[in-house]
Structure 1
Amino acid sequence: MKKLISTLTIVVALLFASPAFAYTVKSGDTMSKIARDNSLKLADLARLNPQIQNLDFIHIGEIVHTNKSEETTTKPEIVVGNSEYEINLLARLVRAEAQNEPYQGKVAVACVVLNRVDSVSFPNTIKEVIYQKGQFQPVQNGQIDKPADADSIKAVHEAMNGSRNIAAGSLFFYNPAIATSRWLDSRSTTLVIGRHVFKI
């Protein structure tokens, strides 16, 4: 049975790293640049560096771990609810998918991801749902790597704190005016907000 979003979840925190795979932040560096320079996706670099809470704010002289082999030296840590990384990731997805949509549409997009986490038909975590192959266009085109805006962050927190009913159990959403695949047309519509049609 799927866990609820608010229950305790196990996350892996990377606490130790080989100095051979550590990079010292220099003037002009960004996490995106460091990821590109080390042939990593930004999401992978973020996972290697859970000590960096804000991917858009790093300090000169800070150590950034850059090698996936570091994942073998891990220690389990118990955290309540979702990690800051997952909350930020969801906010970035909301920005990419719904930046020109009404605020309620942003909340509804966040709810779709949370509904999937609760559904037996989808993965168990926000990160796994977002990165499930072929599910979200921003993952494929790189828009997921752009920072979230204030409205998207607010919408995610609202979705996590009692506004799940906005999306009425929806597991999908799309813009029928630009969709290249029509398979969602046959599914039941739960609501329409702005240009997005939400489906169950």
Structure 2
Amino acid sequence: MHIKPRAIATVLCMIFFIGFAVCGVVRSTDKETSEIRQSYPVLAEAEPVIMADLLMESPDLEPEVKKEPDYPLTQEEIDLIALVTMGEAEGETELGKRLVIDTILNRIDHPSFPNTVYDVVYQPNQFSVMWNSRIDRCYVMPEIVELVKEELLERTNYDCVFFMAGGYSKYGEPLFQECCHYFSSYD
């Protein structure tokens, strides 16, 4: 038995057309749809599905809303740490900024220092930016706010509580230098 190529092409076209009709890709008039359903009973119960409907109803295509984690500090406290960090470490590396943030957070947690952001930052003679008027030229940088939030979730260093530019503080045990700052732990 020899099958002609034209017959194969006709059958394939019909299969292709039926597939598109089932999926609703080929839009047809009500009369054409009725004729197709009469010719192919399996289609009589099938509702046409339109690709746009599939896309709209797919739960996988919903945009994912990322929920902000719960931070142990208020946004105002986070902004204050970011402001002090800009003042103290604006020209420092990202690591240097993180370590300044950690110094503030570590002091809040340490029993020898006040236990609030405000009290730690405004403690007399602690952060030079707070008493040498540099703070007046600083602003809250969004990228430093993000660093503060990241450090709140996982700190880079839990030991540093002192830092100075140019050399180690006379307080604490020297730890390491990062760029222009020298970091120390509590005695």
- Give the TM-score normalised by the residue count of structure 2: 0.56
2:131 pairs with 1:140: yes
Q: Deviations over 1:108-139 (max 9, x none)?
A: 10000000000000001111100011111111
Offset at residue 154 of structure 1 (A): 2.0
Give the letter aligned to residue 99 of structure 2.
A
Larger radius of gyration: 2
Question: Deviation string for 1:36-71 (max 9, x for gaps)?
Answer: xxxxxxxxxxxxxxxxxxxxxxxxxxxxxxxxxxxx
Q: Which has the higher contact order (CA 8 A, sep 6+)?
A: 1
2:92 corresponding residue in structure 1 = 101
1:150-200, Cα deviation, whole Å (9 max, x unpaired)? 3321221121111x2x234111001126xxxx7x24632222211111001
- The structure 1 segments of at least 4 consecutive aligned residues displaced by more than 3 Å after TM superposition are none
Pair 1:112 & 2:114 matched: no
**Distance in 2 between the 1:84 and 1:186 partners?**
31
1:187: which partner in 2?
172
Q: Which runs of 5+ in 1 are unaligned?
A: 1-78
Match of 1:176 in 2: 166
Q: Is the 8 A contact 2:87 2:134 kept in 1?
A: yes
Aligned in 2, Cα 1:112/1:80: closer, same or farther, shift over 3 Å?
A: closer
Aligned to 2:184: 199
Does 2:141 align with 1:156? no
Equivalent-residue separation in structure 2 for 1:152 and 1:80 (angstroms): 15
Contact 2:71/2:152 (<8 A) preserved = no
> Which is helix-richer, 1 or 2?
2
For 1:127 and 1:198, locate their aligned partners in 2 and report how far apart those are by CA, in whole Å. Answer: 21
**How much is the aligned-residue C-alpha RMSD, in angstroms?**
2.0
Distance in structure 1 (CA, Å) of the matches to 2:170 and 2:125: 18
Match in the other structure for 1:123: 114
**Percentage of pairs with the same residue:** 30
Gaps of 5+ in 2: 1-69
Deviations 1:12-33 (A, max 9, x none): xxxxxxxxxxxxxxxxxxxxxx
Task: Check conservation: 1:103, 1:151, Cα contact below 8 A.
Answer: no
Aligned length: 115
Counterparts of 1:9-158 in structure 2 under 5 Å?
Answer: 81-145=72-136, 146-158=138-150
- Alpha carbons 1:190, 1:198 under 8 Å: kept: yes
1:96–1:186: structure 2 CA closer, same or farther, 3 Å change rule? closer
Q: Distance in 2 between matches of 1:174 and 1:82?
A: 26
Matched residues in 2 for 1:152 and 1:191: separation? Answer: 22
> Counterpart amino acid of 1:196?
H
Equivalent AA in structure 2 for residue 118 of structure 1: D
State the shift of 1:143 in Å: 2.7
Partner of 1:60: none
